[in-house]
Amino acid sequence: MTTAENVQSLIDDLEAQAQQDTPDEATPEIGIIMGSDSDLDVMAGSEAGRPGAYDVLTEELGFEEQTDYDDPPESRFTFETFVVSAHRTPGLMYTYAETAADRGLDVIIAGAGGKSADLPNMTASIAYPLPVIGVPVQEKSLPSVIGMPQGAPIVAVDAGKSFNAALSAVQILARQHEDLRDRLVSYHEGLQDGVGDVSRDLHELGTPEFKSQRD
C-alpha cells in the first residue's frame, strides 16, 4: 500500500466509524493526536524525560488505549492515538476533527512542534464545539498553539506538558462520570501524601541526612 493509499485508508476508516451506531461505552472518550511520531516522547512520555499523557491515563487513572474500533478494551474509559499532520496530511486532519464527535470522542488532546504548530488550533476550529487541549511540543511552538482569535477557543498547557493536558481532559469527563472524579481526587490526595512524607522526613532527619539518603 502506498503512502497516499494508507492515508486514504485511515480517512475511510474514520468516516465509516462515524456512521456506526456504537454505544458510548465502546468508543474512546479521549483522542490524542500529534503532528509527527517524533512528538511521541512528549505526548506519551518517555523513560528519559518527563511523564506524558499516556502515562497518567494508563498508570494513574485506569484508562486503556483503544487500537481497534470494533474490538474495544474491557476498561470503561479509553483513549486512541494517531499521528495527524496539519501540513502533510491536511485531509486526514480535517476528517479526524470533523468525525471526532460522531465517533464518540468527548475531548481531543492535540500536540505539535516547530514554529508552525498548526495542528491543535486547526483541529479546534474544525471539531468545534468539541473541546481541544493543545500541547506545544517545544517552547517555540507555544505562540502558534495559543494564538487563536477571539471566538475560536482552544485550551492549552505549557510546552511539553501533555501530562497536564490529560489531567485536564479527564477533569472535563469527570463532570459526567463520578467514577473519574473519584479517580482524580485519589490521584491528588496521593500527591499531597507524597509532599507530606517528604516534608516530615526532611524536618526529622535534618538536611544533611535527608540529602544523603536521597542521593
User: Which pLDDT score, from 0 to 100, does residue 2 have?
Assistant: 77
Cα 1 to the chain's mean position, in Å? 29
- Read off the amino acid at residue 212: S
Q: Domain residue spans in the chain?
A: 3-176, 178-215
Cell of 168: 485536564
Q: Which residue has the higher pLDDT, 11 or 201?
A: 11
- Residue list, annotated binding site for substrate: 36, 39, 88
The residues pairing with 156 across neighbouring beta strands, listed in sequence order, are 134
pLDDT recorded at residue 84: 96
Identity of the highest mean pLDDT range in 31-35, 193-197, 201-205, 208-212: 31-35
Per-residue pLDDT tens digits for 6-42: 999 999 999 999 999 999 999 999 999 999 999 999 9
* pLDDT given at position 192: 81
Spatial contact of 100 and 128, defined as CB atoms under 8 Å apart: no
Cell matching residue 124? 479546534
- Report in angstroms the alpha-carbon separations of 163 from 21, 55, 166: 31, 7, 5
| pLDDT surpasses 90 at 200 | no
Residue type, 22: T
Quote the CA–CA distance of 39 and 158 in Å, as a whole number.
15
Q: Which residue ranges make up the annotated binding site?
A: 36, 39, 88
Q: Which fold has domain 3-176?
A: Rossmann fold (3.40.50)
Count helices and strands (H / E) in the chain: 9, 6
pLDDT tens sequence across 96-150 = 999 999 999 999 999 999 988 999 999 999 999 999 999 999 999 999 999 888 8
